[in-house]
Amino acid sequence: MAAFTMPDDAVRWIDATVARYPDRQAAMLPVLWAVQREKGWISPEAMVWVGDRLGCSASAVQAVVRFYTMFDEAPVGRWKLQVCRTLSCELMGARAIVDRIRDRLGIEPGETTPDGEFTLQEVECLASCGTAPMMQCNFKFYENLTPERIDALLDELRGRTPDHDDVEPVIYERPGAEAYHLMFPRAIEPVSARGGEAP
C-alpha cells in the first residue's frame, strides 16, 4: 500500500489552518475538505494521516467523515450533481429535474455513470428556495432549473474541466407559469401516484 501523501502547499495550508484554532482537532473539517479537494474522496489511509496531524485516532476521523454528508468515502464522478429534493424545490418541480437527469444519464440517485463523468444525488435544502428547483454541481449552484436547461447543461459539462474556484451561482430566469405547469402537472392524486418516485 502506497503511503498517503499530500502536496507541500496543501500541507503548508493545513498547518497554518490548524494554528488558527485553540485546539488542533477543531481543524478537522477544513483539513478533511483539503484532502477531499486534493484527492476527490477520503480514503482510510487519508483518515489515518488526518488523525496523525490532528492528534486523534483514525476512528475519530472516520466518525466525522461518516457523519457529514458532503464527505465521500469512495470516488465520485467528475461532476457531482446534487439536486435539492426538500419541500420548496419539490413544490417547484424538483422531481422533473431528477427525472430528466435520470433519463439522460441512465443512472439512479446515488449512482455514477460508467464513464465516471457524473454522479447523481438527491440532497436536502441548499438555501435556494426562492429560485427553485436547483442543484449544486461540484461547488457551484444552478438555480431556476427546467428539464430543458438540464439538457443543455449536461452537454456543456461534458466538455468542461471542473474548477474548484468557480463558485458564482448561475441563476436562470424564472420559468413562467406555463413552463411551471409542464414540470408540475396539476393533478388531484398525490405526486407519487403519477409515476414520480416517493422520496
Partner 1 sequence: MSAPKILMQRGLERPGESHVLEAYEAAGGYRAIRKALGMSPEAIVDEVKKSGLRGRGGAGFPTGTKWSFIPRDSDKPRYLLCNSDESEPGTFKDRWLLENDPHLVLEGMMIAAVAIGSHLMFNYFRGEFTYPLARWRAAVEEAYRKGYLGKGIFGSDYDLELVTHYGAGAYIAGEETGMLESLEGKKAFPRNKPPFPAVEGLFRSPTLINNTETLATIPWIVDNGADAYTQYGTEKSRGTKLWSCSGPIGRPGVYELEMGHDLMEFLEGDLGGMMEGVELKGIIPGGSSVPVLTPEECRGAKMDYEGLRERGSLVGSGGFIVIGDNISAVDCLLNLAHFYAHESCGQCTPCREGCGWIEQLVEKILDGRGTQADLETVLRVSDNMAGKTICALADAMAWPAVAFIKKYPEEFAALCAEPVDMDGLAAAVGRHDHILPRAS
Residue from 15, 130, 148, 158 in contact with partner 1 (CB under 8 A): 130
Q: Supply 166's cell numbers.
A: 468557480
Q: What residues are paired with 142 via a beta bridge?
A: 135, 170
Q: x/- site string to partner 1, residues 158 to 187, per CB under 8 A?
A: ---------xxx----x--x--xx--x-xx
| 33 touching partner 1, by CB under 8 A | yes
Q: How many CB atoms lie within 10 A of CB 165?
A: 6
119 DSSP β-pair partners: 80, 112
**Crossing angle of helices 44-54/58-67, nearest 10°?**
120
Between 113 and 138, whose beta carbon lies closer to partner 1? 138
Burial class of 82 by CB neighbour count within 10 A (0 to 12, 13 to 18, 19+)? buried
**Any contact of residue 38 with partner 1 (CB under 8 A)?**
no
Q: Nearest approach, Cβ of 6 to partner 1 (angstroms)? A: 18
d(CA 35, CA 37): 5
Residue with cell 439538457: 151
> Per-residue contact track with partner 1, 93 to 122, x per CB under 8 A?
------------------------------
- 16 binding partner 1? (CB under 8 A): no
Among the candidate windows 2-10, 14-22, 100-108, 151-159, which touches partner 1 by CB under 8 A? 14-22
Which of these segments, 7-15, 52-60, 101-109, 147-155, binds partner 1 (CB under 8 A)? 52-60
191 binds partner 1, rule: CB under 8 A: yes
